[in-house]
Amino acid sequence: MNHATISVIVPIYNSGKYINKCLDSLLNQTLNSMEIICINDGSTDNSLKIIEEYRKKSNKIRIINQSHSGQGVARNKGVSVASGQFIGFVDSDDYVALNFYEELYIASIKHNVDCVACKAMTVDENNADIQKLSIWGKLPAGIYSQDQIKQLDWFNTGCSPVLWDKLFKNEIVKKHPSTNLARGQDFVALIDYTKEIKNIELIDKHLYFYRHHNQSVMSYPESINTLSADLHTEAIATEKIISYYKGYPIVDFYITEIVKYWSNKMNNIQLRYFEKQVLLSILNENFRCLEKFYKTHFDLIKNILTTP
């Protein structure tokens, strides 16, 4: 597949239970000109055996093996060899509608946009409970320019904080390698990509099926570890948004919302003294940009952690 229209990056780590449905949905796409780049991230189950069987059946599939290094590293490895005009990402425990990439590709070509985003359904591990996923914003379907994005509450209500419901032009993705964060790396990459796009189209069709199960990273119970990871990611995201969009309403919208979000979270969770100290250390060390430009907002969060 030297001249694929779309390159789909699928990081795989111990996904033997779900990978068949994922690959079946990709191999049966109504859009034919695709390459499916499977990065086996050091799986210890039968994932590699399964994808090797699929490769025997289709030359669309390419397998790259690496030692277990995390989703960010796996995605970067896939992106580095992607030949498609556009790049999409699919998590190995999810699956997509059979017209998913055709719909996104046609929209991108027809309207000459740099990115197309659809909506998604959530599905349980047994494929029994399928519902509309509620992380999508309130903006109506349509095309939004970079100038419009700067004026909107884009990262809270305009666009979902993930990569897998979207299709991006190749050069945008290749310009910004993913960070290898424990949680929330999609959102950080999305901020980088959004800064590069001239326009994005939102389509009101539910074409991606996000699987919710107990082993997924975002299903882990709330703990000091998850709070620390999320706050660290928040620091990176906040610094990028301020750096890219300082002086535009999009920043004020975002900062106001994250202060409200973290204030509520820290007020509603019973944190022990040492846990508050851990989070306070992250805040002091990593939110310098917030402290410099939005000190009042910064102090609101800091006061919660310093109150007995």
Largest CA distance in the chain: 62
User: Among 234, 243, 79, which residue's Cα sits nearest to residue 161?
Assistant: 234
The strand ranges marked E within 159-305 are 166-169, 199-212
Q: What is the pLDDT along the chain (308 residues), one digit of tens a residue?
A: 456 899 999 999 999 999 999 999 999 999 999 999 999 999 999 999 999 999 999 999 999 999 999 999 999 999 999 999 999 999 999 999 999 999 999 999 999 999 999 999 999 888 777 898 876 667 899 999 999 999 999 998 888 999 999 999 999 999 999 988 888 899 999 999 999 999 999 999 999 999 986 665 544 567 888 888 888 898 899 889 999 999 999 999 998 888 888 877 777 777 777 788 888 888 788 777 777 777 887 777 777 677 65
Residues in a beta bridge with 11: 39
Q: Specify whether domain 6-218 bears CATH 3.40.50.150.
A: no
CA atoms within a 13 Å half-sphere pointing along the CA-CB vector of 209: 22
Distances in whole angstroms, Cα of residue 176 to Cα of each of 112, 180, 214, 280: 21, 12, 31, 30
Burial annotation 243-276 (CB, 10 A radius, 16+ → b, else e): ebbeebebbebbbeebbeebeebbeeeebeeebb
pTM attached to this predicted model:
0.90
Specify whether the CB–CB gap between 40 and 66 falls below 8 A.
Answer: yes
